[in-house]
Amino acid sequence: MRTTSRGLIAALALTPLLAGCFAQSDSGDTDGEGATGGRLRVALAVPPVQALSPYSNDATVLSKLSVAEGLTALSKDGIATPALARSWTQKNPTTWTFELRKATFQDGTQVTAESVVSALDHANAAAPKPRVLSDVTLTAKAEDTDTVTLTTKAADPVLPLRLASPALAILAPKAYAKNGTVSPVGTGTGAFRITKLTGKTEATLDRYDGYWGGKAKAPGIDVTWIADGTARANALRGGDVDIAEWIPTAQAKLLPKGTRHEVPSVRTDSLILNTGSGLFTDAPLRAAAREAVNGSALVDSVFGGYADPAQGLFGPAVPWAAEDRVPVTGRAKAATTAEVKTKTKGRTLRLATYTNRTELPEAATVLQQQLEKAGFTVKQDVREYTQMEADLLAGKYDALVFSRVTLLDTGDAVGYLASDFMSDGVYNIAGLKDPAVDKAVKAAAEEGDTQERRKKIMRAEAEILRTDAVIPLVHEQAVQGIATDVEGVLLDPRERSLIDVDTHLK
């Protein structure tokens, strides 16, 4: 099993990114001979939220299945590499020029500078705005048919990394409806074309033979969304699917050894506390919850050893985090058990989590017991993520057991910190509004030097943890289920990639 050249993360590498110009041939790597086996059958975990719109959490499906691409991609070292842009140059701190390769959309139209500008303009105008754009103001301009100039309001040292986000996929003009909806069905540029999307249950993809990167070895992909993790594992064991993502840890050891593949993950599971409304607007109560919760107890009991105790927001898969970590100071004094009972008398702590990751409801039960020992009265609400996202963002819960890929949006940690914890963050489930946090994240965002940027990221982490808006629990190790007759599946700690032109049945 090989790993992807686009997805793995060892560390950020901003210095090469800022060095000037990148280039790559327009020709693909494959020989164009086409399929070597049958169609791939894939079970994915999280059903579509918005009909696979790139502006929702569905965006990663488009990159996992090689449906759509951005101007750039990410290398195994987290460096921006060419995708629809074959090269780029930074003219000044706020201006970049991108040269496009010769490519076509899956509807047969050409990828042009105007179509790229239109796609990026739609992303900017989306409501809510994609998380990757939460901390940047981006303006796109077509200079000629194959040249696009991108300008940011403030210096953005990681712009090429940002453009690799699945949320900034470039789709054909017909993908964008006047009512603001976006459809990737038949409008991407990748190796596989969506031909049919059946609600939230199934999708059919066929190989796109006009792909600039070469003809895929598999003739197509048949996708089934199976929210229940045990059912996904059973589908793989029973031979109903060839690839099943996110195998629950309780099921992992039941899979035949040759079909179980552990992946180091940048995914951190945390308890998010709602600081904007409800019980946890009270800082001493948040501190009491933090002292009551013991994430280490989850490693073996819930995750079967496929996790590491939380070190902070970033775990072992982000190797520079530990050496630059800053001690957390200035936290509120925790309320005693008696004080918790007095402060919360007649009130219930609304604890939410979702079923798409089997371990989370189990973790929520353990955490409920821990919180109740600290004096809280707890009631759980457990549903599929798609059924509760709007309520989470509206602040209708007091706490959420949450699993988050911390380097998903940009490949750079600042994007995650900005969207999830800044006052104007578009994914700020914690409802956090803290000037010191905003200042620290902004300082990290403005830093172009690699080493200094990492240090400032960790200072921002310390400021966020000070607020007790988030209590890190564990750093996950992902398990992917892959049948023994499948080759070329991408094992990606960022969970952006899964299938590409080389993935096929033997």
pLDDT at residue 36, rounded to an integer: 52
The second-level CATH assignment, the architecture, of 14-225+483-505 is: 3-Layer(aba) Sandwich (3.40)
Say yes or no to pLDDT of 22 above 50: no
Q: What is the mean pLDDT of the chain?
A: 90
Protein fold of 266-476:
Dipeptide-binding Protein; domain 3 (3.10.105)
**Strand order through the sheet with 95-100:** 85-92, 95-100, 147-152, 138-144
pLDDT tens digits along 165-210: 999 999 999 999 999 899 999 999 999 999 999 999 999 999 999 9
pLDDT tens digits along 105-133: 999 999 999 999 999 999 999 988 898 88
Domain with CATH 3.10.105.10 in the chain: 266-476
Residues 6+ apart with CB under 8 A from 364: 351, 353, 380, 382, 401
pLDDT at residue 172, rounded to an integer: 98
Helices (H), 3-126: 14-17, 59-64, 113-125
Domain with CATH 3.40.190.10 in the chain: 14-225+483-505
In terms of pLDDT, which residue wins out, 404 or 37?
Answer: 404
- HSE at residue 207, side-chain half, CA atoms within 13 A, is 24
pLDDT tens digits along 272-289: 999 999 999 999 999 999
Most distant CA pair in the chain: distance in Å? Answer: 72
Q: What SS3 class is residue 400?
A: strand
Q: Mean pLDDT across the stretch 18-46?
A: 59
CA angle, 298 as apex, 293 and 303 as ends, to 5°?
Answer: 155
Q: What is the DSSP letter of 22?
A: B
The fraction of the chain above a pLDDT of 90, given in percent, is 78
Residue 346: count of CB within 10 angstroms of its CB = 5
Cα dist. 418→211, 236, 463 in Å? 35, 38, 13
